[in-house]
Amino acid sequence: MARQITIAEIDVLMRSRAELLASGRTERQIREAVASGQLHRVRREWFVTAKTSNDLLTEGKHLLHVVAVAKDARGSCPVFAHASAAVLLGFPLYRHHPERVHVFTTGPRASSGPDVFRHETTMRDDDIVEFDGLRMTSAIRTVADVSRTLPLATALAIADASLGRAAVERHTQNVERVQAWRAELGERLAAAGHGRGLVQARWIVNFADGRAQLPGETSSRLQFHRLGLPPTDLQVHVPGPDGRSYWLDFGFDDLDSFGEFDGMGKYTDAAMRSGRTLQEVLIDEKRREDWIRATTGRRVIRWGDAEAYSADALARFLSAAHIDVPSQSARRHPPYS
């Protein structure tokens, strides 16, 4: 299964051309290893094994690229921004695959390159944070930037993750923290005037909900909104047996149902299985769902990535589950569409 990677791991796994030559490889051997697919060139003089690259999630692949750019920087480390700051902050890049690393510059205009996009901008003192020797825009500044420039589903997933980190504890949002998060972002967007992407950005700030635990939940909520079937609540609590607590992603009072985005990670990721076998996970899920149906009288509707991808795909799934879906003409088309 594809995995994430840390900067510490990158420092061990990524090798410069000089290091490869010092280890005994020749220039010809390096070229042949790249051509045959044994080595993956991250950029210019930096390499990892093809297996390392192939095993990574999109966020990990981009993080490799970011670290390589940082290692090549002359003088002080650049300030990474947009999607590049997002991966450094641990936010998802849902269905977005950056081809270039984004950095901010406040000095004389510097030209962008084939794999680095340089943005000339102004920054406040609190716009910059530093982790592991790398500088990046803060979470709030990053959300303000990506909400204007990235595709809606990607930007909303980043906003949900940021709000979740800032205001959610044990499945519950702290109202005051949510308001503070929205106010700070609103202030920054107001200061931006009437530039590109502001309509989408303002909509994202108001629609974001930190209770989404996975990007697929974020995208599902977006598609339900487009279909005119917004959930009544998120992270709905159902008391389980022996003092357990069950939490369901969505509650639909009008449909007398609960909804669950069924990400594959809970079945395929060993860390998420918490030491259980796949069979044990499946049995636990069945018992959980049987209890919920028996004690609440509601059915549980499950869908996956394919259905969360678009409103049309989700509509087809819901129709097959005998749920009435508003017609195309009745669907919501906000200003961001």
- How would residue 337 be classed by pLDDT, with cut points 50, 70 and 90? very low
pTM, 2 dp: 0.92
List the strands of the sheet with 233-239, edge to edge: 233-239, 245-252, 257-261, 299-303
Predicted confidence (pLDDT) per residue in 26-40, tens digit:
999 999 999 999 999
| CA–CA distance, 121 with 63 (Å, rounded to integer) | 23
Contact 150/83 with Cβ under 8 angstroms? yes
pLDDT at site 107:
64
Of residues 264 and 135, more confidence is placed in 135
pLDDT at site 268:
60
Of residues 334 and 77, more confidence is placed in 77
- 232 pLDDT higher than 90: yes
State mean pLDDT over 125-143.
95
Predicted confidence (pLDDT) per residue in 162-184, tens digit:
999 999 999 999 999 999 999 99
**Weakest mean pLDDT among 23-37, 103-117, 226-240, 269-283:** 269-283
Which sequence spans correspond to the domains of the chain? Answer: 215-330
pLDDT at site 273:
59
- 263 pLDDT higher than 60: yes
Contact 103/111 with Cβ under 8 angstroms? no
- 104 pLDDT higher than 70: yes
**How many angstroms separate the most distant Cα atoms in the chain?**
69
Name the residue among 98, 91, 118 with its Cα closest to residue 107: 118
- How would residue 279 be classed by pLDDT, with cut points 50, 70 and 90? confident
Name the residue among 228, 247, 227 with its Cα closest to residue 237: 247
- 110 pLDDT higher than 80: no
Name the residue among 288, 281, 225, 227 with its Cα closest to residue 260: 288
- 336 pLDDT higher than 60: no
| CA–CA distance, 261 with 280 (Å, rounded to integer) | 20
- 313 pLDDT higher than 70: yes
- How would residue 77 be classed by pLDDT, with cut points 50, 70 and 90? confident
| CA–CA distance, 294 with 287 (Å, rounded to integer) | 10
Neighbours of 270 (CB within 10 A): 11
State mean pLDDT over 56-82.
94
pLDDT at site 76:
79
pLDDT at site 109:
57
Range 215-330 classified under CATH 3.30.70: no
pLDDT at site 280:
81
pLDDT at site 200:
96
pLDDT at site 55:
96
**Weakest mean pLDDT among 41-55, 146-160, 273-287:** 273-287
| Tokens of residue 265, six digits | 């990670």
pLDDT at site 266:
60
- How would residue 214 be classed by pLDDT, with cut points 50, 70 and 90? very high
**Weakest mean pLDDT among 6-20, 53-67, 104-118, 217-231:** 104-118
With a pLDDT cut of 90, the percent of the chain lying above it is 80
Contact 212/222 with Cβ under 8 angstroms? no
Strands 257-261 and 299-303: parallel
